Amino acid sequence: MKKGIVLIFALVASSVFFTTSLTLWISWEGEEFFSEVAKLYTQETGIEVKILNVPKLDDKLFTALRTGNLPDISMVKDVYIERLSKSGFLTKLDSKDIELIGSFDRECLGPYSFDSTVFAIPYYADVQVVFANQALLQGQGISFDAGYGIEDIEEIAEKFAGSNIIPAAWDFMSPYIFYPFLTAFGNLKNEEGKPIFDSSEIGEGIEYIKSLFDSGTFVRMNRGALVNSFEDGKIALLIQGSYLAKDFEEAGIDFKMLPFPEVNGKKVKPVIDSKGFAVFTKEKKDIAIGFLKFLYSKSIDFCIEYNKIPLWTSKVPDELSELYDIYKEGQYMFNGLKFQSLYFNTMKTVLQAVYSGSLSVDEALKSAQDYVNSNW
């Protein structure tokens, strides 16, 4: 009899432990913030939330999908939702789950859905921007606002000609930065989501952007050199993600964030890079949603500090208003699983071949399309 009572107690105890603890994987920024919120939540509810900061979260998640050793909740990128949903490990979310946490517009929920089912809850968004060094530009009597074009950057290049200041820089080899420029010229995918490389519009776009590098309007630098040179005051305009804003603030740079320039009268829509939270343990969905509701309610100051657009509310703080204006002009990158794989790998090869001169733009794009066709 005593053994039976002990066994029942053990089962109840293990059940309580199972339902009153959570593991959460995070990455990128804010480890101290997430740990503090988890601590507060435990104090208020008694539910322990263990925070694990994972430097290469995407790789860790994809490995965990094979082993099954997954957290209860994880931060996820919008571009990986199809891949994660097809694993069968993600917990489906309904409208009640989403409404408990905040008010989300259809556009930001789209990338976190697959086959009309929501699999993750949007949290914040970064967006591609043009960082403008105000001290350098104002020293030349230049003032930039939204609505500027490539011709304005060409003017900057002329003003800084012969100096050690780089007018505008980004990495020509980056399919990520190329994406918004090319979508301003034409479609990068067909109705099936298959990448389109061999169109005249895409060819025209690459030729045009390459001519800007050839003329010195743009200068090619890798990411590490871009960040260091901008912080050293050697670059007037830098094209990168808004997530770098906090680093530049801490470096004491007087900068402004701008939308992408218009290209030959074409609007260039920067890519929105958002993060959300997915629930992997179905049995813990309710307490996971409860914690996320608590987390989101504490997150506005975090978004202000790290220059993130909060996606669960339409009331954006004044401190983020300029960045929000850029976000509203942006676009979410198409996140089809096969498109993501083929676009990034193939486009990088195209850009390397074109930049090195080993292939013409037409030759590189034809070869790329042949490769896509044979692997689709």
pLDDT of residue 10: 43
In terms of phi and psi (left: phi > 0; alpha: psi -120 to 50; beta: otherwise), the region of 162 is left
Amino acid at 368: A
pLDDT of residue 7: 42
Three-state DSSP class for residue 143: coil
Judge whether residue 14 has pLDDT over 70. Answer: no
Alpha-helical (H) ranges within the chain are 2-19, 31-45, 57-67, 81-85, 95-101, 106-109, 134-139, 150-159, 175-185, 200-214, 223-231, 245-250, 285-297, 300-306, 321-328, 337-356, 361-375
Tokens matching residue 326: 């850029």
The pLDDT tens digits for 313-372 are: 999 999 999 999 999 999 999 999 999 999 999 999 999 999 999 999 999 999 999 999
Q: Nearest 5°: CA angle at 122, between 119 and 127?
A: 130
Tokens matching residue 40: 């507060």
Rounded CA-CA distance 64/324 in Å is 35
Note the pTM of the prediction, 2 decimals.
0.91
Using only C-alpha atoms, what is the Rg of the chain? 23
Cα–Cα distances (Å) from 123 to 213, 269, 303, in that order, read: 36, 21, 10
Tokens matching residue 70: 């997954």
Tell me how crowded residue 177 is: count the other CB atoms within 10 A of its CB: 19
Average per-residue pLDDT in the chain?
A: 93
- pLDDT cut 70: percent of the chain above it: 95
Q: Which residue is listed with tokens 């993501």?
A: 340
Go through the domains of the chain in sequence order and give each one's CATH number.
8-125+273-332 (3.40.190.10), 127-271+336-375 (3.40.190.10)
pLDDT of residue 146: 76
Rounded CA-CA distance 128/243 in Å is 9
pLDDT tier, 144 (very low <50, low <70, confident <90, very high otherwise): confident
Rounded CA-CA distance 134/144 in Å is 9
Judge whether residue 8 has pLDDT over 50. Answer: no
Handedness of CA 153, 155, 159, 162 (dihedral sign): positive
pLDDT of residue 2: 47
Q: Using alpha carbons, select from 345, 337, 336, 341 the residue that is nearest to residue 368.
A: 345
pLDDT of residue 147: 84
Judge whether residue 3 has pLDDT over 90. Answer: no
Residues written for the chain: 376
Judge whether residue 5 has pLDDT over 50. Answer: no
Rounded CA-CA distance 276/120 in Å is 6
pLDDT of residue 203: 97
pLDDT of residue 20: 80
Judge whether residue 154 has pLDDT over 90. Answer: yes
pLDDT of residue 4: 46
Q: Which of 12-16, 139-143, 257-261, 309-313 has the lowest mean pLDDT?
A: 12-16
Judge whether residue 240 has pLDDT over 70. Answer: yes
Rounded CA-CA distance 21/43 in Å is 13
pLDDT of residue 145: 80
